Amino acid sequence: MTHRVAVVGAGIAGVTCAQVLTDAGHEVVIIERNAEVGGRMRTWHVDGLQCDYGAPFFTARDANFSVVVKGWCEAGFAAQWRDRFVALDAAGVAQPVADVSRFVGTPSMDAVFSTFVSGQRVETGQAVCALAKVNGKWQLSTREYGHYTDLFDAVVLAMPPAEARELLHEASPALSVVVDRARMRPCWALMLRYPTPLELGFEAAFVNGGPLRWMANDGAKPGRDDKGVWVIHASAEWSSRHLASRPDAVTEALMSAFVAFGARFPDAAAAYLWRDAEAVIDSGPASRGYVWRDPERIGLCGDWCRSGRVEGAWLSGRSLGLAVRASLARGSA
Ligand SMILES: Cc1cc2nc3c(=O)[nH]c(=O)nc-3n(C[C@H](O)[C@H](O)[C@H](O)COP(=O)(O)OP(=O)(O)OC[C@H]3O[C@@H](n4cnc5c(N)ncnc54)[C@H](O)[C@@H]3O)c2cc1C
């Protein structure tokens, strides 16, 4: 029997969960607040500057995710990023770097989403602001259009915990407790454009100490053509202390840290704050990598339920999709 399911959030967890349910024959609608899909894997396209300003790469250790990533690579939507990776301490002294395969979407990180969203119903530019049970089904409201016309048999929230918290307060006190215990850390990202390539002796650096955590030549990734684009990320500690700072003050502070590693000043710069960049994974309530409430038919997934990485978000979305599918099948029997 076909059921109607709403998936709120079109990051990698949401679209993966939706795919499992669509493949099982259910009628799925993905509702996304932003104008584009991708969540923290989306790509910055402003004033001719294009770069990956969230996740700069991802890894694939799980056997199932590795098969999916291999498919993306074969279809031209992703590629392995092999470049000069280094790890540096705050003084610029080199440290060992883990030897793992790192992947990127091509020609931009969000390209991997085209493998999911074709054939799926995705409503972008709609922020879900309320959930309520009406005659045993879920009714969603969006800030833009009020009550959603369809009622749903099940709902999945595939978003960071702070955003889910606002929706769960009245709709599911049990899940509200789960998200209350989850924590995320922020990250300021600085995007830079140079008229001529910048040579620092590496294309990507993990920084251990000081205000920076990551510096990379985004334009050096496979499939990009502007080698003058760099992205740097501040550490979670620095970002937490500068949540209220203005973008121009952040740009100035992070640029002076970048210059200390040998960089010069760019032609153009833009700063962006990811308030919920990185999940803090502790013992956590979502020990199976997702949360599903069978009686209410509502679930939670996302990186914060699993590992705080792209791969963890994919695994979380997939496991929840399988759990919802099994629950709906039991309900129809
Ligand atoms: C700066 C930075 C660096 C990172 N570095 C790495 C890395 O090196 N490697 C790695 O693997 N991962 C990295 N990550 C983490 C990785 O990006 C995430 O783990 C992964 O993308 C999370 O996917 P998700 O689907 O769980 O959540 P998200 O991608 O956050 O998706 C949630 C979606 O829900 C939408 N949403 C929220 N509220 C609503 C609402 N009310 N209504 C409708 N839609 C809503 C959001 O707009 C968003 O699109 C990084 C992230 C950041 C920000």
Tell me the pLDDT of the chain averaged across its residues.
Answer: 94
Residues 229 and 138 in one domain: no
Rounded Cα–Cα distance for residues 56 and 3 (Å): 36
Structure confidence at residue 150 (pLDDT)? 87
Residues 191 and 105 in one domain: yes
Residues 236 and 319 in one domain: no
Phi–psi pair at 12, nearest 5 degrees: -65, -35
What residues contact residue 15 under an 8 Å CB cut-off, 6+ apart?
A: 7, 30, 37, 113, 116, 117, 120, 317
The residue whose two tokens read 């038919």 is 297
DSSP 8-state symbol, 58: B
pLDDT-derived band at 144 (thresholds 50, 70, 90) equals very high
pLDDT tens digits, one per residue of 38-79: 999 999 988 878 999 999 999 999 999 999 999 999 999 999
Identify the CATH number of the domain in which residue 48 sits: 3.90.660.10
Residues 244 and 208 in one domain: yes
- For residue 38, give Cα distances in angstroms to 106, 115, 171, 229: 14, 12, 26, 20
Is the CB of 213 within 6 Å of ligand 1? no
Residue that terminates a domain, selected from 242, 267, 283: 283
284 or 251, which is more confident: 251
**Of 104, 129, 111, 121, the residue nearest 14 (C-alpha):** 121
pLDDT at 91 over 90: no
Spatial contact of 313 and 13, defined as CB atoms under 8 Å apart: yes
Structure confidence at residue 331 (pLDDT)? 80
Rounded Cα–Cα distance for residues 3 and 75 (Å): 31
Spatial contact of 81 and 103, defined as CB atoms under 8 Å apart: yes
State in Å: Cα 5 to ligand 1 middle: 21
Rounded Cα–Cα distance for residues 240 and 277 (Å): 11
Residue having the nearest C-alpha atom to atom 50 of ligand 1 = 55
What residues contact residue 74 under an 8 Å CB cut-off, 6+ apart?
A: none
State in Å: Cα 184 to ligand 1 middle: 11
Residues 92 and 201 in one domain: yes
Spatial contact of 17 and 29, defined as CB atoms under 8 Å apart: no
Rounded Cα–Cα distance for residues 125 and 120 (Å): 16
Is the CB of 33 within 6 Å of ligand 1? yes
pLDDT-derived band at 170 (thresholds 50, 70, 90) equals confident
Residues 105 and 189 in one domain: yes
Is the CB of 128 within 6 Å of ligand 1? yes
Query: Is 68 a domain residue?
Result: no
| Cis bond before residue 107 (omega within 30° of 0) | yes
Task: Tell if the pTM clears 0.85, that is, is over it.
Answer: yes
Structure confidence at residue 283 (pLDDT)? 55
Angle at CA of residue 298, ends 295 and 301, nearest 5°: 135
pLDDT at 284 over 70: no
pLDDT at 277 over 80: yes
27-31 and 43-46 as β-strands: parallel, antiparallel, unpaired? unpaired
C-beta neighbour count of 169 within 10 angstroms: 15
Is the CB of 274 within 6 Å of ligand 1? yes
Query: Is 3 a domain residue?
Result: yes
Query: Is 72 a domain residue?
Result: no
pLDDT-derived band at 92 (thresholds 50, 70, 90) equals confident
Residues 152 and 241 in one domain: no
**Of 126, 113, 115, the residue nearest 6 (C-alpha):** 126
Query: Is 247 a domain residue?
Result: yes
Residue having the nearest C-alpha atom to atom 6 of ligand 1 = 55
State in Å: Cα 279 to ligand 1 middle: 10
Query: Is 71 a domain residue?
Result: no
User: Which ligand 1 atom sits closest to the C-alpha of 13?
Assistant: 25
User: Which ligand 1 atom sits closest to the C-alpha of 307?
Assistant: 19
Rounded Cα–Cα distance for residues 47 and 50 (Å): 8
Q: How many domains does the chain have?
A: 2
State in Å: Cα 252 to ligand 1 middle: 26
Rounded Cα–Cα distance for residues 218 and 157 (Å): 31
Residues 187 and 300 in one domain: no
Residues 191 and 143 in one domain: no
Query: Is 69 a domain residue?
Result: no
**Three-state SS at 155:** strand
Structure confidence at residue 286 (pLDDT)? 58
Phi–psi pair at 318, nearest 5 degrees: -70, -45
Structure confidence at residue 46 (pLDDT)? 82
Residues 95 and 196 in one domain: yes
pLDDT at 332 over 70: no
Query: Is 230 a domain residue?
Result: yes
Residues 24 and 128 in one domain: yes
Domain, as residue range, for 250: 40-61+78-109+183-283
280 forms beta bridges with: 183
Residue having the nearest C-alpha atom to atom 20 of ligand 1 = 310
Structure confidence at residue 117 (pLDDT)? 77
Identify the CATH number of the domain in which residue 144 sits: 3.50.50.60
Rounded Cα–Cα distance for residues 315 and 259 (Å): 38
pLDDT at 264 over 80: yes
State in Å: Cα 159 to ligand 1 middle: 7
Residues 225 and 279 in one domain: yes
Query: Is 104 a domain residue?
Result: yes
Residue having the nearest C-alpha atom to atom 10 of ligand 1 = 309
137-142 and 128-134 as β-strands: parallel, antiparallel, unpaired? antiparallel
pLDDT at 288 over 60: yes
Is the CB of 6 within 6 Å of ligand 1? no
Rounded Cα–Cα distance for residues 259 and 177 (Å): 44
